[in-house]
Amino acid sequence: MSDLVFTTGGFSSGSTLLFTVFRKAGEYYCLYEPLHERLLEHKYGKLRAYEHHYFVDEYFSEYRGFTALTHLHTAMAATNLFLPAAAPAPELYRYLSYLIGMSFGRNPKVLLKENRLTFRLGWIRAQFPAAKVVHVYRDCDAQWKSTVRRAQTFYGRQDVGQESVTFNGMGTANTCDALAPAFPELAADRSKTGYERFAKLWELSLAENERFAHVTVRYEELTRDFEGVAREIWEALGCTAELGPLKQWVVTPENQRAVERTRGLQGVLRSAGDRARFRYGRLRMRLDQMLRRSGA
């Protein structure tokens, strides 16, 4: 039985679906993306759920009461993306240990869902040897199309630079640039199109995840044969929650509604609301930091 679990996968791979299933099961205390670069702002401002993240009302509600989060969380999402097992990373270890310790204070089982762990899994396995790693992946073409679609939805246009090697939907280009010193094939000048560069990252990510994960599942199979595939995960982790009731939280790809950028007054109001929540979150974060520094 595993009391500590890390779930990993690329962006738009089905990792939030897996997180939602665990969250609904209630067996684990589940933390969403602790390395999110804007976690603090969204924790206070309540990031609006993406339309294809079904049944997610709030991403970061489990962080309430984690008072040390403000000064322990650092901008680790875009740095040290490749972290070998023996690499020193005391700040990251301290931060994750705090989150895990706080979570164990609330539940005997803890799960962290994070998309930024792939090339740090060797380090994760070395630092937390008793933990189990669950990996979900999606067909490369389907993940690429989802990544492009999300960028198109956000910007409200079809051309979001997806043909260029600098396409940065879901941080693709930034991730490749950060990993290029360790994986030269990810450098921009080693690809001709955005898709080619994305596919190289996808292949490397799949290999790295499969190398360290205790169980790997395919998103397409998880959605179409939920109980059969989820049972593999449950057996690997020693989960006891019933699978049958959890099927209601799974939406197969063919039943997912198309998402288009809302235009007109409704779109303007929604965008304004998103910006207002983010600004409020940033103000709350800064106020909290000031109060901690002053000892109030």
pLDDT digits (tens, 9 = 90+) for 114-142: 999 999 999 999 999 999 999 999 999 99
Spatial distance between the Cα atoms of 106 and 97, rounded to a whole number of angstroms = 14
Closest by CA to 112, choosing from 1, 209, 30, 213, is 30
Per-domain residue ranges of the chain: 4-139+215-294
Predicted confidence at residue 282, as pLDDT, reads 61
Question: Which of 4-8, 115-119, 196-200, 282-286 shows the lowest per-residue confidence on average (mean pLDDT)?
Answer: 282-286
* Percent of residues, the chain, with pLDDT higher than 90: 66
Q: Is the pLDDT of residue 85 over 50?
A: yes
Model's pTM, two decimal places?
A: 0.85
